[in-house]
Amino acid sequence: MTEAPRRVERIAYQGEPGANSHQVCREHYPDLEAVPCASFEDVFAAVEGGEADLAMIPIDNSIAGRVADIHHFLPDSGLHIIAEHFLRIRFELLGIPGARLDQIRTVHSHVHALGQCRKVIRAHNLTPVISGDTAGAAREIVEAGDPTQAAISPPLAAEIYGLEVLAEDVEDEEHNTTRFVVLGRELVEAAPGNGPVVTSFIFNVRNLPAALYKALGGFATNGVNMTKLESYMVGGEFTATQFLAEVDGHPADVGVANALEELRFFTTDVKILGVYPADPFREDHA
């Protein structure tokens, strides 16, 4: 009796093949099957439902700031952050095979990508056309087959869709970088004392005067560096009571443990979202 083949592990991402999220999956998880999803909600659902084992999710960009949809889904998803990766965002101006740069009249891409590549658009007097996804824009111009249409897309999209690279590195800012987090169903904590670690958590403050100030005081007095603090409206209330925070260090570290213990005195709920190795990018760009 032959054994059933072992299921290949899958990692889900938002976007079409060739998107930046797909690029990060290929770089860091080359042995996993990368599964494209139409929306962030579909990505979370794929992992929650067992259709994928992991999710690759963009959470912050050095130019555009936080990815708002993610901060809506993450706290209640039941998923946990197990890793982080940073990707230097690069865009190329792509045309169909045989197209020339002086022929291009319109350029397709995601609204954020168009906003991050204004110089090349202005230099060639192009008309921007908003697409749902940077890689999807590459697919659209392939389907159109029009030499006057171009796409601003990641380099991987040129490879996948067989497009002509009309101009490389067309992004306005060289520091354009996106931080991605990897989500899984299980909380897999990085081992303490084995290099830099990031701890991500959410908490709700009690309805007390200066509750947030008091809740965070323990991190300062214990010498813990807080790298992120973002607020949320909960239950339709305009008073922000839920916060997402990230600190350098492991919950097993004395300072972090003491700070979290003090935090609990002034909050109604503290939930650890992840304890994972800090990407070397942090130290290189400190």
Could you give the CA distance from residue 209 to residue 256 in angstroms, rounded to a whole number? 24
Q: How far is CA 149 from CA 96, 101, 103, 258, in A?
A: 8, 10, 8, 58
Strand order across the beta sheet in which 242-248 lies:
226-232, 242-248, 197-205, 267-277
The 10 Å Cβ neighbour count of residue 38 is 13
Could you give the CA distance from residue 116 to residue 31 in angstroms, rounded to a whole number? 32
Residue 180 designated active-site? yes
What's 86's DSSP letter? Answer: E
Q: Tell me, what amino acid is at 8?
A: V
Residue 267 designated active-site? no
* Per annotation, catalytic residue among 40, 44, 86, 180: 180
Do 147 and 103 touch, CB atoms closer than 8 A? Answer: yes
Residues 6+ away with beta carbon under 8 Å from 138: 18, 94, 151, 153, 157, 158, 160, 161, 163
* Per annotation, catalytic residue among 44, 86, 178, 266: 178
The 10 Å Cβ neighbour count of residue 102 is 7
Q: How far is CA 266 from CA 6, 40, 125, 176, 225, in A?
A: 48, 33, 56, 37, 19
Could you give the CA distance from residue 270 to residue 203 in angstroms, rounded to a whole number? 4
The 10 Å Cβ neighbour count of residue 230 is 14
The 10 Å Cβ neighbour count of residue 123 is 10
Catalytic (active-site) positions: 178, 180
